[in-house]
Structure formats: C-alpha cells, structure tokens
Amino acid sequence: MAGGKVNDGPRILVFSTDKISDPAIDMAGLLKLHYPPTVYTISIPCSSAVKPRWILHALEQGFDGVFIAADGTDCPYGESCTEKTGQVVSTTMQMMKDKGMDPARLKMAAICSVCSEPFVNHVKSFSEYLRKSSNS
Amino acid sequence: MKKKIGVYICHCGGNISDYVDVEKVREAVKNEEGVFLAKTTMFACADSNQKEMVEDIRKEALDGVVVASCSPKLHLLTFRGVVERAGMNKYNYVHANIREQVSWAHSDNKPGATEKAIQVVKAAIAKVRHAEALEPIKVKSTKAVAVIGAGVAGMRAAIELAEAGAEVYLIEREYFVGGRTAQWDDLCITEETGKELVTRLYDEVMKHKHVTLFTGAELVDYSGSVGNFNLKVKVTPRYFKLQCSSDELQKAIEVCPVEVPDEFNFNITTRKAIYHNYPSEYPQLPAIDMKNCTRCGECEKVCSSVDFSQKTEMLNLKVGSILLATGFDPYEPKKGEFGYGEIDNVVTFPQFKRIVHYCDDKLMYKGKEIKHIAYIYCVGSRQVDGENKYCSRYCCTANIHTAITVKKKYKNIYNYHFNRGIRTYGKAEVWYDESSRLGDIYLQSFEDHPPVVEKRGDQTFVKIRDILTTDKELEVAADLVVLVTGMVPRADNSIGNLLKVPKGRDKFFNEIHMKLRPVETVIDGVTIAGASQGPKNIMESMNSALAAATKSFSLVDSGELALEPTVARVNEEACEWCGKCEEACPYSAFEKVEKNGKTIAKVNAAVCKGCGMCLPVCPENALDLIGLSDEDVESMIDALIPNA
Ligand SMILES: Cc1cc2nc3c(=O)[nH]c(=O)nc-3n(C[C@H](O)[C@H](O)[C@H](O)COP(=O)(O)OP(=O)(O)OC[C@H]3O[C@@H](n4cnc5c(N)ncnc54)[C@H](O)[C@@H]3O)c2cc1C
Ligand code: SF4
Ligand code: SF4
C-alpha cells in the first residue's frame, strides 16, 4: 500500500441512534450493501440530542459533511423528536451560514430500523454531492 | 484519564479479518495515549478469550477496556459482564463495531475497511479514556406481564409466567381464545386436534389464579418503559350475561336476521351477528358482533342472557414487561392467482381445512363430490416477483398431513401435489414418505415455471412442466384445486406501531438477533413469540413462547431493575434557570430547585430516560448526558479523523 490516506473520499460523520438507525446501518453491513468507507457513525440515544456544537466541531476538524439519521416518527422517545431534530438542523444551518459554510454540508433524513437501503442511498448521494462541491 | 487501557481486536473467524487487516489495526492503536496492551483474538466472545481478558484486567490492573468486534447489539452485554467479573466497573468498557459497520459494509474495499477500522477503534479508545465508573439506576419494577394474544403461543407463555410467579394479563382481541389453532382439526406433529390442544391450554390458563384473561380486548395506548409500563386496554363487551342456556341461545341465533360471512370458516359459510365459532369454544359464552348487529332486539326477546346494557370499558394496567404473541394471517391470493376468485373450485388451504371439517363420509364442495385434488404449493411464499421471499415452513408438512387424512377419511381420493421442492423438515419426512406410499403423485417445477390453472368447459385443469419427468408437460383434471397458502403478518398489526417494535424484511416483528437474542426487541421490555415473529408451526411457536416468557420474567422477577445510568446532568454553575429543558423533556424529568441561593434545574434520574432531547435546547450549554458529554463526543470526532 502506498503511503498517504487510503480513503480520500469526502468524510461523513453520521449521528445515528441506538434503537432505530443503528440496527438499519448494521443490517446494511449484514446485507453487504456497500457505501464509502469514509462514512463513520457515532451512536446517540435519539437524533434530537445532537448539539449544534458537535456538528460544527466535526466540520471544523475535517469532516466534509454531517448526516443525522433521524428517528422520525419511529422515535421510541415520542413524537416531538421529529420537530426537535428539525430544530437542531435549522439552528445549526444558520450557524453554518454565519460562519460562511455551505449549509448543505449538514443533511438529515429519517432512517427507520429497517431502512438499510435508504441509508446507503442517502450517504452515497451525500458523498457524491460533497465530492462535487469540493471540486467546484 | 485512563492510563492502562486494554484493547482486543477480534478476527470473528474470518468475518472481520478476511477484509480488515486486524494486525495492522493493532499496530496502529497500540501506542495510542493510555493504551497499555493491544491484542488480536480469533473469537473475542469465546470462553477462552473471556478468561484471558479477566486475567489481563486483574494481573495488569487495567483501568479501561475496548473490544473491537461485531455490533454492540450482540455482545456489549457479554463484554460488560467480562470486565465486571474481573472487578472493573462495567462503564469502563467501550465497544467498537468493526464487523457490521466496517468489514461487512466495506468488504469490497479491504484497505478502506482497514483504515476505517483503525479510526473506529481509536474513537473507542478516546471514549474509554475519560469513561467514568457509574452505578446503574435502580427502579422498582412491577412483577406483572401483559401477554398480547391468546393463541397457543400467548396461552403457553401466560401459563409459564404464572407458574414462575408473575401476575399475568392475557389480552385477546377476539371473543374466543386459541387463535388460528382453534380453526384446524387434525394437526401434524401431535395426535391432538386443534380444539383439544386449545381446550387443554385454556383449562391450564383458567386454573392459575395469577392469570387474568380479557377477551374482546385491545391495547390502545401505553406510557412508561421497561419495569413500569402503564397500559390502557379497551374491553368491548360480548353483550351476554355470564350464564346462558343453550336452548335459548340456539333460538336467539335462529331469530337473528343478520347473516355475515363467517371468518372462522374463511368465508365459505355464513354466521349470524350473534354467534360462537363452535359450541364448545372457550370461553363458552357467545358474543354479539356489534359491527354487524342492527339492534333489532329479536334475540333479546327469546334469550334472557342478552344484555345490551353492557358498556365498553377502559382498563389501566401496570406491568413490567409486554409479550407480543399476536400471530399471523394466512396469505390471501390475489384475484386470478392460480384461478382464485375466478374459477369456482379453487380454494385456499385454510378453507380446505374447514371443508374437510364439515364433510363426514363424502368430500363435497359446492354440491359436487371431490375425488381428484390438486394442491399447489408455495402460494404467497418464496415469491419471485412478490414481496414474500421467505418459506412459510408449516405448509408442506401441514398440507401433506391433511392430504393423508383426506385419503383415509373418504373413499377414492387421488392427491396430486404440484410443488417447488418439498420441505417437510425434521420428523415430518415420515408423512411425505407415507403419502408417497399411499400413491399420492408429486409433480415439481422451478419458480420460473409455475403450474397453470385453467377452466375448459366445466372441467378445471392444472398443467405443469414437471422437472421430475425431464420437463414433460403434464396435466391433471381436478375436482378441487387447493392453494397451499403461506403465512403473512396480521393485516392489523397496529400494535407493533403503537409499541414501536421494528419489523424485519419479511414484515413480521423482528428480534434483536436470531441466535443471540431471539425473543427480545430493540424496545426494552417488549418480547415477541409465536408466529407474530415469522412463520412457525405450533411446536416452534410454543418453544419461542417459553423463551419469551423466561425473558420477560427475568425483567420483572426481582421487583427491581437496573437501568442505564446514562441520564441527563445539569452543570449547576452554568445553569441560569430558563425552563427550556423542562419544556423540551417529554418525561417531565426536570424540576426547578433552589440551591445555594440560585434557581436551577434538577434532573430526576429515575424519570429521565436519557433521550437527550434537552441537550441542544439549553442556551447555557449546561446539560450533558452522562457518557455522552461534549468531551466524549468531541474526542471521538477528533479520533475519527486520520492523522489527527
Ligand atoms: C391451514 C393451516 C394449517 C396448519 N396446520 C398446522 C399443523 O397441523 N401443525 C402445526 O404445528 N401448525 C399448523 N399450522 C400453524 C399454526 O396455525 C401456527 O403455528 C399457530 O397458530 C401459531 O400460534 P400463535 O399463537 O403464534 O398465533 P395465532 O394462532 O395467530 O394466535 C394469535 C392470537 O393473537 C390474537 N391477536 C392478534 N392481534 C391482537 C391484538 N392486537 N391484541 C390482542 N390479541 C391479538 C389473535 O386474535 C389470536 O388469538 C397451520 C397453519 C395453517 C394456516
Ligand atoms: S413449507 Fe413448503 S409450501 Fe410452504 S413455503 Fe416452504 S416450501 Fe413452500
Ligand atoms: S435549559 Fe439549561 S439553563 Fe435552562 S434551566 Fe435547563 S439546564 Fe438551566
């Protein structure tokens, strides 16, 4: 293997949830549905728990994009999750704009516990977007 | 900060090491800050490795441990157990998933998988570095279990739970118990009929003073969580007093003017709005089906037990665990699928079971005697184009068993089995053998050439390209065509949505892991049993019911539950009481308190579920989840970036 980074695609940090999206992401692996190996997950209890500062930290430290695998209406902690996660996203996007960052580097989509394929499709197209926008 | 961290990287046979260079991962992490030892192991979960870990922790006085292996859903608890056995607080253990989320997900890119594995393990090390020893939160749990569905699985589970000493609420949506099994006479694997089996289970259920059976009952809402669920159960009355004379009942059924298709007989007969499915059914008390009753009052005139004054009740029950045993529906073929709904002598296997029940010495259907029967297998199962890719398991065996019964019960029966490869697994092979000896004919095709059912004149033909006779086209003139239909999830499975139980690819309820945690769901405290989880015969349903009962019991037995201590925590210095967290918390876990002359927020740890919804709303950043502090998350983020 030559030196340097093997994985030079856009780096994506996924905030996924213990009960809902983690099982889907695990199942994507089980089904060998491939996605770029530059996609990393940090597991949290609920998608509405993500602090904007974590997202900004990731983007400032070198991640190209952050993907929130939201619980949506499946959230075991209640209906308000969707709205609250949306709130986190819009607050953070505003902060990103203020800092001159492209708000589209943050993406959110509901990923249910069996949404392995949608997950893979989302991160692939997000990765594609990030690749293009970094080249432009 | 930890200084003596042990890191174990698993090959998982080759599941990980075929794609991830585990040796390279070890090399890359062994000099990370705080790492004292780093090892690779063939199977981290094997007894021998667990022993070695315990020895390492003790001998080297390790203060933190990381295992990089399969998903934490499978083995987080295993390894927490290992470190506890070595005397370490289990929250000083951190799990890294390098199988489902690395080696398998990136099996197409080995160098890429290896690099990702390195970062993932580094992130786990970063997390364990400032992990804190924590004590679980103890909450009282209610020593009661709600079993939903009184089919064979639900009743078996209820008996087991009651015998173990739990209070059991058995909640059945229909007015009668037994589920599908009550609909079958002859059963395979056991000599008992469906009714006998249901009767035996019902008697046992009723014998236990700790089981309360509710019929016509449905869970409509719930709150709380494992150990303490509050259930709202709607009980619809049968509109009958507890005692009822059979003569009066007979008259009431006669005079009822409303006639509807009888679902118990899969609509091949009709029943009245006042009904029971069969005379000896349990509970032995008829019911009035209010969806169809016109309140004409005819029955009331002839039967003193009819009581229209009964009211729907809402019950509040408190339980520690919920066991779902809501069963399955038979697949309903589409109109025109193998002639169903278009050719009049095409029926489903469940309908056929009911026809055989009603015919004593001659097998008759729509006024004609039946001699030649064509069975078409795998209808609604193993679909090439449709969604049901799975084998329904019960049908080959149950159908061959029924074909033998029919041959023995009536004269001059000829059975033709149009199959896709018979799957009479286990002991059931003996019936396959017996039916062949009795002269049944087996014709087989591949999935791309299913048999064709056609009506020509007044005869129905089934045609096949039979691969057992070198692809010859063969045809049978059949008096009756039986579609051997598979199992599908209940059409009304809304209870799954209510409890947020995930469904698998087959749309049945999904367990956490088929082998390791086969009756638990990702919703803590909710277990699953029987055919609600996927196609199962009676024995398999009962076995899973026993497993689920044991699991549910283990959650309520001691009256106390240890919950994850990963709850919210207020930084008292930073908090300026604005009330935003109180507003955001869906469980009302926050209180406004006065402390040292300052108004601040306080978390009630037993109420907090650790969801973290409050974290982002705090304008002072005064909130953290224990185990998920800014430091935890941000150090993991840093570690995930190579060369950081
Ligand atoms: C035609 C046919 C023949 C068969 N023959 C055999 C055989 O010979 N041998 C054999 O081993 N197996 C046989 N089987 C399989 C057998 O029927 C199943 O294994 C068995 O019925 C599964 O039991 P269960 O309790 O899991 O589910 P079910 O029998 O479906 O019972 C589930 C119960 O839950 C209730 N319920 C559903 N939803 C709710 C709700 N929301 N709230 C409350 N209650 C609810 C239902 O009303 C029902 O009473 C046959 C199946 C078919 C279709
Ligand atoms: S048990 Fe037999 S009939 Fe049923 S789906 Fe499997 S192979 Fe087909
Ligand atoms: S949101 Fe923050 S500042 Fe406001 S009361 Fe809660 S902890 Fe205190």
Q: pLDDT (tens digit, 9 = 90+) per residue, B604-633?
A: 887 788 889 999 999 999 999 998 999 999
Residues B19 and B85 in one domain: yes
* Position A16, amino acid: S
Output the pTM of the full model. 0.80
How many domains does chain B contain in total?
Answer: 4
Q: Is the pLDDT of residue B514 over 90?
A: no
Chain B CB contacts of A87 below 8 Å = 616
| Residue ID of nearest Cα to ligand 2 atom 1 | B393
Mean pLDDT of the region A6-19: 89
Number of residue pairs across A and B with CB atoms under 8 Å?
Answer: 159
ipTM comes to 0.95
Residues B177 and B227 in one domain: yes
Q: Please write the tens of the pLDDT for every residue from B245-284.
A: 889 999 999 999 999 999 999 999 999 999 998 887 889 8
| Residue ID of nearest Cα to ligand 2 atom 6 | B391
Torsion of CA B32, B34, B37, B43, to 10 degrees: -80
* Ligand 1 atom with least separation from CA of B171: 43
Of the pLDDT bands very low, low, confident and very high (cuts 50, 70, 90), residue A114 is confident
Residues B449 and B589 in one domain: no
Q: Please write the tens of the pLDDT for every residue from A29-39.
A: 999 999 999 99
- The reported pLDDT for the residue numbered A6 is 62
> Which residue in B16, B27, B173 sits closest to B98, CA to CA?
B16
Q: Please write the tens of the pLDDT for every residue from B310-357.
A: 999 999 999 999 999 999 999 999 999 999 999 999 999 999 999 999
Of the pLDDT bands very low, low, confident and very high (cuts 50, 70, 90), residue A79 is confident
Q: Choose which residue among B396, B424, B482, B487 to substitute to test ligand 2 binding: the one with the highest number of ligand atoms within 8 A of its C-beta.
A: B396
Q: Per-residue DSSP letters for B394-409?
A: HHHHHHHHHHHHHHHH
Of the pLDDT bands very low, low, confident and very high (cuts 50, 70, 90), residue A2 is very low
User: How many whole angstroms separate alpha carbon B96 and alpha carbon B85?
Assistant: 20
Residues B415 and B461 in one domain: yes
Residues B101 and B68 in one domain: yes
Q: Is the pLDDT of residue B117 over 80?
A: yes
Question: Which of B24, B75, B97, B100 would you mutate first to test chain A, the one with the most A CBs within 10 A?
Answer: B100
> Which residue in B234, B307, B310 sits closest to B274, CA to CA?
B307
Report yes or no: B103 and B73 within 8 Å, Cβ to Cβ. Answer: no
Q: How far is A136 from chain B (nearest CA, A)?
A: 23
Measured between CB atoms, which of B71, B108, B505 is closest to A114? B505
User: How many whole angstroms separate alpha carbon A38 and alpha carbon B439?
Assistant: 62
Q: Is the pLDDT of residue A18 over 90?
A: no
Distances (CA, A) of B636 to B102, B120, B128, B416: 17, 9, 10, 64
Q: Provide the CATH number for the domain around residue B30.
A: 3.40.50
Chain A CB contacts of B643 below 8 Å = 5
The secondary structure of chain A, three-state, reads CCCCCCCCCCCEEEEEECCCHHHHHHHHHHCCCCCCCCEEEEEECCHHHCCHHHHHHHHHHCCCEEEEEECHHHCCCCCHHHHHHHHHHHHHHHHHHHCCCCHHHEEEEECCCCCHHHHHHHHHHHHHHHHHHHHC
> Which residue in B394, B642, B422 sits closest to B537, CA to CA?
B394
Specify the 3-state DSSP secondary structure of B431: helix
The helix or strand, by DSSP H or E, that contains position B473, with its residue range, turns out to be: strand B472-478
**Low-confidence winner among A75-79, B448-452, B637-641 (lowest mean pLDDT):** A75-79
Q: Is the pLDDT of residue B103 over 90?
A: yes
Of the ligands numbered here, which is closest to the C-alpha atom of B497? 1
Of the pLDDT bands very low, low, confident and very high (cuts 50, 70, 90), residue A5 is low
- The reported pLDDT for the residue numbered A4 is 40
Q: For A91, which residue in chain B has the nearest alpha carbon?
A: B616
Q: CB–CB of B97 and A78 under 8 A?
A: no
Measured between CB atoms, which of B101, B586, B609 is closest to A29? B101
Contacts of B383 (CB under 8 A, 6+ apart): B389
Specify if B126 maps to a domain.
yes
Token digits for B87?
Answer: 């005397």
**Low-confidence winner among A88-97, B221-230, B434-443, B457-466 (lowest mean pLDDT):** B221-230
Q: Is the pLDDT of residue A63 over 60?
A: yes
User: How many whole angstroms separate alpha carbon B136 and alpha carbon B608?
Assistant: 13
Chain B CB contacts of A68 below 8 Å = none
Distance between Cα B227 and ligand 1 center (Å)? 28
Q: How far is B557 from chain A (nearest CA, A)?
A: 24
Specify the 3-state DSSP secondary structure of B213: strand
Q: Does B77 touch chain A (CB under 8 A)?
A: no
Question: Which of B76, B106, B517, B636 would you mutate first to test chain A, the one with the most A CBs within 10 A?
Answer: B106
* Percent of chain B whose pLDDT exceeds 90: 85
Cis omega (within 30 of 0) on the bond before B619? no
Q: Which residue has the higher pLDDT, B642 or B616?
A: B616
Report yes or no: B372 and B439 within 8 Å, Cβ to Cβ. Answer: no
Q: For A61, which residue in chain B has the nearest alpha carbon?
A: B638
User: In DSSP terms, which residues pair with B594 in a beta bridge?
Assistant: B599
Measured between CB atoms, which of A23, A38, A49 is closest to B611? A49
Q: Please write the tens of the pLDDT for every residue from B528-572.
A: 999 999 999 999 999 999 999 999 999 999 888 887 888 999 999
Pocket of ligand 1 (CB under 6 A): B 148-154, 171-174, 179-181, 184, 187-189, 218, 325-328, 330, 349-350, 353, 394, 398, 401, 490, 495, 530-532, 536-539, 541
Q: Does B105 touch chain A (CB under 8 A)?
A: yes
Q: How far is A85 from chain B (nearest CA, A)?
A: 9
- The reported pLDDT for the residue numbered B643 is 67
> Which residue in B158, B162, B155, B160 sits closest to B176, CA to CA?
B155
Distance between Cα B636 and ligand 3 center (Å)? 25
Residues B217 and B345 in one domain: no
User: How many whole angstroms separate alpha carbon B353 and alpha carbon B356?
Assistant: 5
| Residue ID of nearest Cα to ligand 3 atom 4 | B578
Q: Is the pLDDT of residue B573 over 50?
A: yes
**Low-confidence winner among A75-84, B89-98, B99-108, B579-588 (lowest mean pLDDT):** A75-84
Q: Please write the tens of the pLDDT for every residue from B279-293.
A: 878 898 899 999 999
* Order of strands across the sheet that contains B217-225: B217-225, B228-235, B313-319
Specify if B298 maps to a domain.
no
Q: For B622, which residue in chain A has the nearest alpha carbon?
A: A51
- Mean pLDDT of the residues in chain B: 94
Residues B61 and B195 in one domain: no
Q: CB–CB of A91 and B616 under 8 A?
A: yes
- The reported pLDDT for the residue numbered A106 is 97
Token digits for B475?
Answer: 């045809």
Report yes or no: B641 and A61 within 8 Å, Cβ to Cβ. Answer: yes
Q: How many residues does chain B have?
A: 644
Q: Does B113 touch chain A (CB under 8 A)?
A: yes
Report yes or no: B330 and B485 within 8 Å, Cβ to Cβ. Answer: yes
Ligand 3 site, residue B363, Cβ cutoff 6 A? no
**Low-confidence winner among B41-45, B514-518, B610-614 (lowest mean pLDDT):** B514-518
User: Does the domain formed by A12-135 have CATH 3.40.50?
Assistant: yes
Q: Is the pLDDT of residue A89 over 80?
A: yes
Q: Please write the tens of the pLDDT for every residue from B472-487.
A: 999 999 999 999 999 9
Q: Provide the CATH number for the domain around residue B206.
A: 3.50.50.60
Of the ligands numbered here, which is closest to the C-alpha atom of B152? 1
Distance between Cα B614 and ligand 3 center (Å)? 9
Distance between Cα B85 and ligand 3 center (Å)? 39
Of the ligands numbered here, which is closest to the C-alpha atom of B146? 1
The whole domain housing B71 covers 5-136
Mean pLDDT of the region A52-76: 91
Of the pLDDT bands very low, low, confident and very high (cuts 50, 70, 90), residue B1 is confident
Of the pLDDT bands very low, low, confident and very high (cuts 50, 70, 90), residue A80 is confident
Of the pLDDT bands very low, low, confident and very high (cuts 50, 70, 90), residue A3 is very low
Q: CB–CB of B634 and A26 under 8 A?
A: no
Distance between Cα B641 and ligand 1 center (Å)? 52
Token digits for B451?
Answer: 């048999």
* Position B31, amino acid: N
User: In DSSP terms, which residues pair with B7 in a beta bridge?
Assistant: B38, B66
Specify the 3-state DSSP secondary structure of B480: strand
Distance between Cα B504 and ligand 1 center (Å)? 19
Residues B319 and B358 in one domain: no
Give the angle B160-B518-B96 at the CA atoms, nearest 5°: 135
Residues B343 and B478 in one domain: yes
